[in-house]
Amino acid sequence: MGHQGALRQRSRSGAWQAARRILCVRLDGLGDLVMTGPAIRALAESGARRRITLLTSKAGARAASLLPGIDEVIAYEAPWMKATPAGRGSEPDGRMISRLRAATFDAAVIFTVYSQSPLPAALLLHLADVPLRLAFCRENPYHLLSDWAEETEPQETIRHEVRRHLDLVAQVGARPTDERLRVEPRRQAREKVVDLLGRHGLVGARDWYAVHPGASAASRRYPPESFARAISSLWRRQRLIPVLTGSGEEAALTAAIVDAAGVPAVNLAGRLDLHELTALLEQAPLLLSNNTGPAHLAAGVGTPVVDLYALTNPQHTPWQVPARVLYRDVPCRFCYRSVCPQGHHACLRGVPPDEVAEAVAELLARTEDRSAAAPAGECGDRTALAGVP
Q: Measuring CA to CA, how many Å separate 4 from each of 7, 115, 137, 150, 382?
A: 9, 18, 12, 6, 28
Which one-letter amino acid corresponds to residue 168? Answer: L
The Cα 294–Cα 369 span in angstroms is 22
Q: pLDDT at position 5, please?
A: 42
Give pTM, 2 decimals. 0.89
Residues of the chain with pLDDT under 70: 1-13, 335, 369-389
Q: pLDDT at position 4, please?
A: 40
Q: pLDDT at position 7, please?
A: 54
Q: pLDDT at position 381, please?
A: 40
The Cα 356–Cα 326 span in angstroms is 8
Q: pLDDT at position 369, please?
A: 55
> How many CA atoms lie less than 13 Å away from 89 in the CB half-sphere?
4
Q: pLDDT at position 145, please?
A: 96
Nearest Cα residue to 170 out of 53, 41, 55: 41
Nearest Cα residue to 26 out of 61, 72, 67: 61
Which one-letter amino acid corresponds to residue 26? Answer: R
The Cα 57–Cα 75 span in angstroms is 5
Q: Strand runs (DSSP E) across 190-230, as ranges?
A: 208-212
Q: Measuring CA to CA, how many Å separate 279 from each of 29, 184, 190?
A: 19, 8, 5
> Left (φ > 0), alpha (ψ -120 to 50) or beta: where does 373 sit?
beta
Which one-letter amino acid corresponds to residue 17? Answer: Q
Q: pLDDT at position 150, please?
A: 93
